[in-house]
Amino acid sequence: MDKPSAGSTFKRPAGAFAAALIDQCGLRGYRHGGAAISEKHCGFVVNLGGATCADVLALCDEVRAIVKEKTGYDLEKRDSGRKGITERGITMDLLIVSGLSGAGKSVAMNALEDIGFFCIDNIPAGLLPSIMAFSKAGDNQLKRVALSMDVRGCRSKEEIEQGLEQLDQQGISYEILFLDAPDDVLMRRYSETRRRHPISIAEGISTREAFAKERQILQPLKERANYTINTALLSTAQNKERVCDLFLKNGGAKSAMRLNILSFGFKFGIPPEADLVLDVRCLPNPFYVPELKHKTGLDQEVVDFVMGHPEAQELLHRYENFLDYAPASLCQRRAKASFPSRWAVRAANTAPLPLLGRSRNFAKKKGYQPSTQHRDSAR
């Protein structure tokens, strides 16, 4: 679609196709206000500029009335959103991910997996109904499913159209994410990785010819796409961030990144997975205060003692500034999905849990979803 689209608007009626009925009634390009039936695919409503929700709803009602009068078919609007209903009544999000080879589908699927999607790669179009039945049945019920479809499993345009029509017939709502890039960019990426295009391997044609054929095969998915990302000028991290911004319920890439904060004792060894170790042995030690000796950093008395010293407040402020910069500016540029931060302490019962707790709250305010652990608190 070359214009903003509301997606596939009407359900397929029994024994006919919604788009064909609309075209048969001469409604291709029919408009109400800023909303119109697409000139390219009559099953889609597009925004010609300034369309309101009222325009779209009014257009749909008018189209339904005309089709009903001329053909006898009563078109039904699709439900909004990408929800499917499982056998137990649990809503399920279904996302179909497709695009040109080398455009970044693997990055997108990895990002979706990081934010909670159950991802299945390289799905043949003919298996779509079977996969959906598996996803919704019995103990296999899944809430968020992402299916990757491309030319490795779909050898013709007709296969894809038939698979999507089968989903429509079953009343399964879905959305499509399509990743694209100019041929020159894709050719350069293939040249850099020294890999061969799947169609080149199967048919013995040049890479440029393979891209031309791939575009033809994937045309139904591109036309129906609810989201299209052109990755020509995007880095791997930017591609991931774009996907997270679209599909993460609670925000963008910050929420997708796992920020792990852990306290530990030096004498028990430094955690090998740590990206950052913060040494707080310079702070006053409550272990040497008799009434605090047998308490831990989880007790309020220890919190008050540690945070009552100006040096603890200053150290916390400087660590917060560093945490504000490092995960967002460094790890997200590298498309990292986690950032383990470890707080080094001198003894388990004097762990700097007050600082750890304050840092966790600070990270939440910045949009992260941090987890905390106290590895040696029971030793």
Order of strands across the sheet that contains 258-265: 276-279, 338-345, 258-265, 371-374
Q: Estimate the crossing angle of helix 207-217 against helix 183-193, to 10 degrees.
A: 130
Give 288's contacts (C-beta < 8 A, 6+ positions apart). Answer: none
- Of all helices (H) and strands (E), which one includes residue 177? strand 175-180
Residue 176 phi/psi, 5-degree rounding, is -125, 130
Confidence band for 226, pLDDT divided at 50, 70 and 90:
confident
Q: Tell me the average pLDDT of the chain.
A: 77
Q: What would the pLDDT profile of 300-333 be if each residue is shown by its tens digit? A: 888 888 888 888 888 888 877 877 776 555 554 4
Q: What is the C-alpha separation between 162 and 150, in angstroms, rounded? A: 15
Q: What is the C-alpha separation between 175 and 224, in angstroms, rounded? A: 9
Q: What would the pLDDT profile of 258-279 be if each residue is shown by its tens digit? A: 677 777 777 777 777 677 787 7
Q: What would the pLDDT profile of 89-113 be if each residue is shown by its tens digit? A: 445 678 999 999 999 999 999 999 9
- Of all helices (H) and strands (E), which one includes residue 343? strand 338-345
Confidence band for 136, pLDDT divided at 50, 70 and 90:
low
Beta bridge partners of 47: 35
For residue 262, the model assigns a pLDDT of: 77
CA 319-375-315 angle, to 5 degrees, is 15
Structure tokens at 343: 């707080």
Residue 340, number of CB atoms within 10 A of its CB: 18
Q: What would the pLDDT profile of 13-48 be if each residue is shown by its tens digit? A: 777 778 888 988 999 889 888 888 888 778 888 888
Beta bridge partners of 83: 93
CB 103 within 8 A of CB 180: yes
Confidence band for 169, pLDDT divided at 50, 70 and 90:
confident
Give 204's contacts (C-beta < 8 A, 6+ positions apart). Answer: none
CB 123 within 8 A of CB 149: yes
Confidence band for 288, pLDDT divided at 50, 70 and 90:
confident
Confidence band for 88, pLDDT divided at 50, 70 and 90:
very low
Q: What would the pLDDT profile of 229-255 be if each residue is shown by its tens digit? A: 889 888 888 888 888 878 876 555 555
For residue 378, the model assigns a pLDDT of: 64
HSE-CB of 158 using CA atoms within 13 angstroms: 0
Nearest residue to 358 (alpha-carbon basis) of 261, 274, 275, 291: 261
Helix (H, G, I), strand (E, B) or coil at 276: strand
- Of all helices (H) and strands (E), which one includes residue 264? strand 258-265
Helix (H, G, I), strand (E, B) or coil at 228: strand
Q: What's the whole-number mean pLDDT along residues 207-224?
A: 91
Q: What would the pLDDT profile of 327-365 be if each residue is shown by its tens digit? A: 555 554 444 445 555 444 443 344 456 677 777 777 777
